[in-house]
């Protein structure tokens, strides 16, 4: 989530930056990093869930973590698209 905040904050920091593609490219890197972080968290949660099932512990279902990763990924892409339109 912080990566998305940085991407949005870059617009405020750079303002009217010339060339505009450079500022947008840097913001896009942060959006891509956010998507990577979401899916890395999903993978880590899946591995943890597998370990916890071996010890009869109750954990959040894997589908819920996947749904969150998908929602955050789509939201990140939307933020990236908005940044490119500004």
**Residue 86 and residue 12 in contact, taking contact as beta carbons nearer than 8 Å:** no
- pTM: predicted TM-score of the whole model, two decimal places: 0.63
Residue 65, token pair as written in the block: 């973590």
Helices 2-14 and 20-54 pack at an angle, to 10 degrees, of: 170
Q: Which residues contact 42 (CB under 8 A, 6 or more apart)?
A: 65, 66, 68, 69
At residue 53, the pLDDT reads 55
Tens-digit pLDDT profile for the chain (86 aa)? Answer: 677 777 777 767 766 767 777 777 877 888 888 889 889 988 888 888 777 655 566 667 778 888 888 888 888 888 888 777 77
**Residue 62 and residue 24 in contact, taking contact as beta carbons nearer than 8 Å:** no
């Amino acid at each position: 989530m912080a990566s998305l905040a940085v991407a949005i904050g870059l617009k405020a920091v750079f303002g009217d930056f010339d060339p505009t593609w450079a500022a947008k490219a840097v913001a896009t890197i942060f959006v891509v990093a956010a998507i990577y972080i979401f899916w890395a968290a999903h993978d880590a949660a899946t591995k943890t869930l597998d370990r916890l099932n071996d010890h009869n512990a109750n954990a959040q279902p894997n589908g819920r973590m996947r749904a969150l990763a998908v929602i955050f990924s789509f939201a990140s892409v939307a933020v990236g698209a908005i940044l490119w339109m500004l």
